[in-house]
Amino acid sequence: MKIAAIILLLLASVSGCSFLSGGGSTDGPGADPPPNLERVPDAVPRSESLHPYANRPYTVLGQQYVPTPGVRTYRERGMASWYGKKFHGQPTSSGERYDMYAMTGAHPTLPIPSYVRVTNLRNGRNVVVRINDRGPFSNRRLIDLSYTAAYKLGYVATGTTDVEVELIVPGSPPAFGPGRSVMGLGGELAALSLPDSDQSLALSLAGGVSLSALASSPVPDAPSRSATARR
């Protein structure tokens, strides 16, 4: 019974995962979006308790992911996508309802909840969002943002853009100096503090390789709700 309960909890923790959307012509705002989306304030970083289940190892589409609940240094470049009305109101991995007009985002391994600064490398705009969901599950994309966050960054029409994502730890100074990023660390490991010794983490930062994590033990596959639509 205990094992069955754990499996159910693991499934529930990723049942709202953000599968790859792509934005653009396949998605969009609601019929009556709020006015002045560019004036929606950024998320304000604050100390929050970590979600008890959304930070456990999980498997989606045959790929294992190990969240990093103790990470305090993270900065990486990659591609951002966004998701909109098709998932508006549906539960996220945190159990909260997805609000496409809020300043939120989805990431495969960053803590839930946590806060990141996302900079559009094509136009220099940046926003701060709160991570409350998992995804996108594609090695081509780094983060999935809400419709409003993508709107403020100026890439709603294109669906994707090149971004830099930096973790913000409430009450701490920026983890990286100007112009220094994970890609320039030459293989040095980011500062991590993982509370659970059984969640082994393999980080490979040399040669521009993205952060990757492998679970120390197998976990059940997550349900593929909407996977076909967002793969």
CATH for 87 = 2.40.40.10
Question: How does residue 18 score in pLDDT terms, banded at 50, 70 and 90?
Answer: low
pLDDT score for 133: 98
pLDDT score for 23: 47
- Burial string for 14-49 (b: 16+ CB within 10 Å, else e) reads bbbbbbbbbbbeebebeeeeeeebeebebbebeeee
The pLDDT tens digits for 68-100 are: 998 999 999 999 999 999 999 999 999 999 999
Helix (H, G, I), strand (E, B) or coil at 168: strand
Question: How does residue 231 score in pLDDT terms, banded at 50, 70 and 90?
Answer: very low
pLDDT higher than threshold 50 for residue 66: yes
Number of domains in the chain: 1
pLDDT score for 172: 73
pLDDT higher than threshold 90 for residue 3: no
**Mean per-residue pLDDT, 172-176:** 61
pLDDT score for 174: 59
The pLDDT tens digits for 31-49 are: 778 889 999 999 999 999 9
**Ranked by mean pLDDT, which of 12-16, 23-27, 114-118, 184-188 comes out on top?**
114-118
CA 63, chain centre distance (Å): 16
Question: How does residue 230 score in pLDDT terms, banded at 50, 70 and 90?
Answer: very low
Give residue 26's domain range. 2-230
pLDDT score for 98: 96
- Determine if the peptide bond prior to 136 is cis (ω within 30°): yes
d(CA 13, CA 29): 26
